[in-house]
Amino acid sequence: MARAPLAALQAFVLAAQYKNLSRAAERLNLTVSALSHQIRALEQRLGQRLFERGPRGVSLTADGERLLDAVASPLESIERALAPVKTSREGALSLSMMTTFASGWLVPRLPRFVEKHPELELQLHSGVALVDFAREPVDAALRFGPGQWPGLNAVHLFDEWIAPVASPGFVERHKLALPVSSDLARLPLLGDPGERWKDWFDLHGGAPPRRYVASFGDSETLHRAAVEGLGVALGRMVTARPLIHAGRLVVLVPERLRSEWSYYLVYPPRSARHAGVAAFREWVLEEAAVYQAGGVVDAQQSRKKARR
């Protein structure tokens, strides 16, 4: 009897979990056509239809449900068994990170790393989802969080600080004198993902409004809304810095509020022996030290840009 088609089964499980062929194909670095071909071949081999195709994705048939129950756990066990020995090919370094951190902090500094380590080929994966080191061939990740991830090494890079920011147009429209000394709650405020406005007013005085103009589930969209002049946001100084330096956002007050989370380099034990991870760790710690030495964004500089 022919061996089980593990690649096709993996494609089937991911498609079943995502209920979307495009997302499953992206996860496997396949085209949607190639993934569909694998699933069709599996259906032909089993003589069963596994999915119902619809305009919004795919759903499992009864046969598909039974197959998923039978193979999902064994495939996950295989992935866990292989994880300790998975490493990138020599000369390659695979990194995962949030899109905002990649564009706002890491990418502008990467030329210095490439110049220092031309022998390494970088593979950058950006997105909001956390990488699963047990299932994905990623060497390390840059994460924003509490600093404790079971089974992973976490190296602190720097803290995040937040402060009220708005667009220059918003400042002009509301005739604000900087720094803003009056109660911020009288201005249109944007709700942030961590609901930190209450902490801000507790620390610096005043009371949060009973309602916000709009609330957002991620900082990238929040910053974008502030750039468009929708209201005042509690901006993250690390990821908002490029927007501030470009004059698209203005820091309204000199005070800052420390975020409960910080930025970390995170990697599994298997990556501790990876030469590329060691080189990146040394370099990113140096860059983090330089960044911290520069301090938070100079509010006076942003105010000058707002007056232009």
pLDDT per residue over 23-57, tens digit each?
888 777 678 888 888 898 899 888 999 999 887 78
Q: What does the pLDDT average to over 84-94?
A: 65
Do 6-85 and 91-308 show the same overall fold?
A: no
How far apart are the C-alpha atoms of 90 and 87, rounded to whole Å? 8
Pick the CATH number of 6-85 from 1.10.10.10, 3.40.50.150, 2.60.40.1180, 2.30.30.60: 1.10.10.10
Q: Using a cut of 0.75, tell me whether the model's pTM lies above it.
A: no
Q: Is 251 helix (H, G, I), strand (E, B) or coil?
A: strand
pLDDT(293) > 90: no
Buried b (16+ CB within 10 A) or exposed e, 159-188: ebbbbbbbbbebbeeeebebebeeebeebe
Q: How confident is the model at residue 302 (pLDDT cuts 50, 70, 90)?
A: very low
pLDDT per residue over 276-286, tens digit each?
999 999 999 99
**Burial category of 244 from C-beta neighbours within 10 Å (exposed 0-12, middle 13-18, buried 19 and up):** buried
Pick from 63-77, 125-139, 175-189: least confident: 125-139
All structural domains of the chain with their residue ranges: 6-85, 91-308
Q: What is the pairing mode between strands 92-97 and 121-126?
A: parallel
Q: What does the pLDDT average to over 104-124?
A: 91
Q: How confident is the model at residue 298 (pLDDT cuts 50, 70, 90)?
A: very low
**pLDDT given at position 29:** 67
CA atoms within 13 A on the CB side of 119: 8
Q: How confident is the model at residue 305 (pLDDT cuts 50, 70, 90)?
A: very low
Q: How confident is the model at residue 131 (pLDDT cuts 50, 70, 90)?
A: confident
Please tell me the CATH code under which domain 91-308 is placed: 3.40.190.290
**pLDDT given at position 83:** 54
pLDDT per residue over 185-196, tens digit each?
889 999 886 678
